[in-house]
Structure formats: structure tokens, C-alpha cells
Amino acid sequence: MIKLFSLKKQQKDGEQNPRAGQQKKASAAQLRIQKDINELNLPKTCAVEFPEPDDLLNFKLIICPDEGFYKGGRFVFTFRVGPNYPHEPPKVKCETQVYHPNIDLEGNVCLNILREDWNPVLTINSIVYGLQYLFLEPNPEDPLNKEAADVLQTNRRLFELNVTKAMRGSYVGDTYFECCLK
């Protein structure tokens, strides 16, 4: 049987002495991200790093595609999970400058589940697979980098050459890309 009076007394004691038995409560976002991370099922082409091991709300995802245009590259994404997660998607940016129709030169990512199609039942795993899919099948129909999208639609071979040049560390047009080969 729960003793309500002793619980009330403990609560009062806690109010009078705020340090007594003080344990920081985990937020809903922290609890959910912990669950998502525990259930992560990363493909062999992906890895997760936590710069601050105690901070699960900020981490990096590394994608190293093993097929497609971006094979052999190493692309780093930062995830910032806000206090309204899972009701709002995490903020995801690509730290690696990449010649890609769905990633602009500032690292913004055009992935429907990070914007209008986000749903609280989606997980970090969903985002990982979505990002990986962008490297396997770039989508020129919904571009952030319109120039790359135009080249992909009109001259697939030139697009492939531009991706290779960018990944090796070279200029594509007026933009210099750092080498991102692993």
C-alpha cells in the first residue's frame, strides 16, 4: 500500500531542502532519443559519434556509401535534437561540403521526413536510412542545389564527373570542395 502521507512529507522536505536527493529528471526528448539510440540498427556504411558522451541530443552520423555516385566518400552529418522531439524532427546538417542536388553548399538537407512529412512515430533510424538513400538515389525533382539537379537531369555523365571531382578535392564551377574520400 502506498503511504500518501509519507510521500507528501518527502515532497515537502524536498521543497524545503532542494538539494536533498536531487536528481535531474530526463525530459521526454531525452527519454525518446535514448530509446531511439538503443534501437539504432545502423547499416555497415554508417556510424554514430557522440562528441559529448553524456549529451545524447547532439551527435554525428558518418555515412560512407559503398555504391552509387558517392561510393568511397565520407560524409558527416550533425544532429541536434530539440526539446520538442519527437513532435518536431531533429535539425540535421551536412558538415561535409558535397556536390548533391538535395544538399546545398551550406549543408542544409532536403529530405521530406525532416520537414513536412515528419511524424512522431519516425525515429533516428528512419532519418539515417533516408540520408543513406539520398546518396544512393539523389532526387533532382526536389533540389536544394538546383545547378547539381539540372546537371543530373540533363547530363548524367557530367554529373558523375562533377561528383568525382568534388569528392577528390577540386573545383566544380566556382566552388571548391574539400577531399572527402575515406
The CATH homologous superfamily to which domain 27-176 belongs is Ubiquitin Conjugating Enzyme (3.10.110.10)
Catalytic residue of the set 46, 94, 110, 180: 110
CA 181 to each of CA 66, 99, 123: distance values in angstroms, whole numbers, following the listed order = 12, 13, 29
Residue 19 pLDDT exceeds 60: no
Q: Is 110 a known active-site residue?
A: yes
Question: Model confidence over 59-91: pLDDT tens digits?
Answer: 999 999 999 999 999 999 999 999 999 999 999
* pTM (predicted TM-score): 0.85
Q: Is 60 helix (H, G, I), strand (E, B) or coil?
A: strand
Cα gap 180→64, rounded to integer Å? 10
Helix axes 28-38, 124-136, angle to 10 degrees: 60
Length of the chain: 182
What is the identity of the amino acid at 78?
T
Cα gap 169→166, rounded to integer Å? 5
Question: Model confidence over 129-180: pLDDT tens digits?
Answer: 999 999 999 999 989 999 999 999 999 999 999 999 999 999 999 999 999 9
Comparing CA positions, the residue from 143, 147, 153, 152 lying closest to residue 175 is: 147
| Long-range contacts of the stretch 45-48 (C-beta < 8 A, 24+) | 45/132, 46/128, 46/132
Q: Report how far apart the first and last C-alpha atoms of the chain are (Å, whole number).
A: 61
DSSP lists the bridge partners of residue 34 as none
**pLDDT > 70 in the chain, percent:** 87
Cell numbers linked to 155: 547530363
**pLDDT > 90 in the chain, percent:** 83
CA 138 to each of CA 72, 102, 128, 150: distance values in angstroms, whole numbers, following the listed order = 16, 7, 15, 12
Q: Beta strands 91-94 and 171-172: pairing type?
A: unpaired
Cα gap 128→171, rounded to integer Å? 29
